[in-house]
Amino acid sequence: MAAVSTGQPKADLREPASWRRTKNRITTVLMVLSLVVVIIPLGFVLYTVIAKGASAISWSFLTSSIPPSVLPVGIGGIGPAVVGTLEITGLATVMAVPLGILGAIYLNEYGGRGPLARFIGVMADVMTGVPSIVMGLFIYSIWVLHFGYSGLAGAFALGALMLPIVIRSTDEMLRLVPDSLREGSYALGATKARVTLTVVLPAAVGGIVSGALLAVARAAGETAPLLFTILAVTSVNTNVFSGPNTSLPSQIFANASSPYVGAQGRGWGAALTLIAIAFILMIVARVITARFAKYTR
Amino acid sequence: MEEPVQDIVTNLPPLGPAAGQPAGDPVEPATGEVVFHVQNTSIWYSAFKAVTDVSLTMYEREITAFIGPSGCGKTTVLRTLNRLNDLVAGARVEGQVNYRGQSLYAKDVSPIAVRRRIGMVFQKPNPFPKSIYDNVAWGCRVLGMKDNMDERVERALTQAALFDEVKDRLKASGLSLSGGQQQRLCIARAIAVEPDVVLMDEPASALDPIATQAIEQLMHQLKSEYTFLIVTHNMQQAARVADMTAFFSISRGGEGERWGELIEYDATEKIFTAPSDKRTEDYVTGRFG
């Protein structure tokens, strides 16, 4: 292509046609395709759950007790499961999140590279890999066999699942806090506890909170560890510490394997409720993260 | 809060040229009291000897500069003076490091009490991810200086020549400031707790000339109240601000060993015009380093 103007020729800054350009195109197309492949199943899951579950959702569905399986959707609801999930997940959160954050603080701020810290780190990784049903059986054998089914037993199992996730995510967040901040604090004559509590934790709190809420959302959806720990009931059990309880995942599991149309419909409704709870937790996580991130930039 | 560090200047070894340290003590008689007396000190990082056999005496209300090439141990020596090297695994100090008559590395000395007296400003500005106000107030709260906090914050920011620029946005994040402002915020943070000594580790290395000038003016103004120690790569800066200058260099041994060493310590004017060591002369005239 000749230069239009007179005098010196224009600099040619176009990318030359080459194998590199072709590679760039192929890779871009592949990336877009993978994105689509990832989104399709997610879209289908959401679509199916909303299509089949939305009609069941109403205030009375969320609060009424669970009717016999033969009854159609519209009579009764999943109230005990909603209450059970909130109770058990809440109790598990109260147990696992503080413990996990304290553990991560030990790993990062106090343990250093000592053998104990390294051992705890490895054990947390191993614990992440334990199948959830094994955790349920473990609680069954050490707790349920002696004290019977209860929401507390379920909370132990869920808490044991959440703990390593909280430890690892908090650990990562604390590691991101630059050492220059710690040095700056120590140089003012602060104690280690003071530095950790008022400088390091606030600098990482957004990430810690969102990591913890992700662990909560994950635990709220667990079925297997609850199978052997809380059983299933059809009326609300407000005492999380004793007596069999129920939860949304357990209810979905029971209803999905039931031959009755009404029970299946309630199962879809319960599935949508569970997704909504997880979604709300994500939004809360985002809001809290944004709030605490106010001073980090 | 118990403060084990004592304010007494007793049991110090005799000062002056007669003390038998060729590169150690200054020729001019000192005006103020001795703040730091470092004698035959070596600093190790695990098996690596970073600095060897340093002897220095630093005086009250003076600005002392440490100059020398990269890796000569200036910062290491500085961080020894407020026990910040305690945070580095494997760091070890041999020899005497006295602060106002008290050995800093004595068994019963608490590094926390040491750092309450001896503040520090770092090479890279490191404001906390908190508001400008809280950045300055944090240290005061830590030390239990909780009364008249607004006044303390304003005074520190004014001393650091930052108050006018930030007085309308004290609630804004300290990280929203420019690099030079952040560094002045860190200086305000360090002097808000009214320390005895302020250590500065290349405080202007990441700053533009105007911000650098502001910080140098600041040191001149605050000199009547505080004792400053400044590490710098910039010889002009040392010549401009310091009363005393210590020149460090790297020495090499037979089998690839290298360590930092104090070559010469004297009045700044003497170091830059009539140094007594050839290596100092080579460095300050730009022939080396």
pLDDT in tens, A51-66: 999 998 999 999 988 8
Count of A-B CB contacts under 8 Å: 79
Question: CA-to-CA distance for A150 and A158, rounded, in angstroms?
Answer: 13
B143 touches chain A (CB under 8 A): yes
Map tokens 């066999």 to a residue.
A145
pLDDT band for position A69 (cuts 50, 70, 90): confident
Question: CA-to-CA distance for B244 and B27, rounded, in angstroms?
Answer: 11
- What are the start-end ranges of the E strands in A157-295? none
> Mean pLDDT across the stretch A139-145?
94
The mean pLDDT value of chain B amounts to: 84
CB contact (8 A) between residue A296 and residue B87: no
pLDDT band for position B177 (cuts 50, 70, 90): very high
B82 touches chain A (CB under 8 A): yes
Residue A289: name the closest of A203, A224, A217 by CA.
Answer: A203
pLDDT > 90? residue B211: no
Looking at the complex, report in whole angstroms how far the Cα of residue B190 sits from the nearest Cα belonging to chain A: 7
> Mean pLDDT across the stretch B179-188?
90
Mutate to test the interface with A, among B99, B142, B169, B200 (most CBs of A within 10 A): B142
In contact, A124 and A130? CB cutoff 8 Å: no
CB contact (8 A) between residue A178 and residue B89: no
Question: Which residues in chain A have their CB less than 8 angstroms from residue B143's CB?
Answer: 188-189
Percent of chain A with pLDDT over 70: 96
CB contact (8 A) between residue A184 and residue B128: yes
List the single residue in B124, B143, B175 with the smallest CB-CB distance to A295. Answer: B175
**Per-residue model confidence (pLDDT) at position A102:** 95
Contacts for B159 with CB less than 8 Å, ≥ 6 apart = B188, B191, B218, B221, B222
Collapse the DSSP code of B165 into the 3-class scheme (helix H, G, I; strand E, B; otherwise coil) and give the result.
helix
The mean pLDDT value of chain A amounts to: 90
In contact, B128 and A185? CB cutoff 8 Å: yes
> Mean pLDDT across the stretch A87-116?
92
Diameter of chain B measured on Cα atoms: 60
Task: Please name the residues between 167 and 226 in chain A that touch chain B, using a CB distance below 8 Å.
Answer: 178, 180-191, 194, 198-199, 202-203
Map tokens 């404001």 to a residue.
B127
> Mean pLDDT across the stretch B38-52?
89
**Per-residue model confidence (pLDDT) at position A72:** 86
pLDDT band for position B255 (cuts 50, 70, 90): confident
In contact, B227 and B117? CB cutoff 8 Å: no
pLDDT > 70? residue B7: no
**Per-residue model confidence (pLDDT) at position B138:** 94
B128 touches chain A (CB under 8 A): yes
**Per-residue model confidence (pLDDT) at position A5:** 59
- What are the start-end ranges of the E strands in B191-257? 197-201, 227-231, 244-252
**Mean pLDDT lowest for which of A23-37, A124-138, B23-37, B72-86?**
B23-37
Q: Which residue has the higher pLDDT, B7 or B206?
A: B206
pLDDT > 70? residue A219: yes
In contact, B193 and B143? CB cutoff 8 Å: yes
Collapse the DSSP code of B159 into the 3-class scheme (helix H, G, I; strand E, B; otherwise coil) and give the result.
helix
Percent of chain A with pLDDT over 90: 60
Exposure string for A130-139, b = 16+ CB within 10 A, e = fewer: eebeebbbbb
pLDDT > 90? residue A43: yes
Token pair belonging to B66 = 């440490």
**Per-residue model confidence (pLDDT) at position A2:** 53
Residue of A nearest to B87 (CA): A183
pTM over 0.90: no
**Per-residue model confidence (pLDDT) at position B235:** 87
CB contact (8 A) between residue A188 and residue B89: no
ipTM of the complex: 0.82
pLDDT band for position B288 (cuts 50, 70, 90): low
pLDDT band for position A239 (cuts 50, 70, 90): confident
CB contact (8 A) between residue B122 and residue A182: no
**Per-residue model confidence (pLDDT) at position B23:** 44
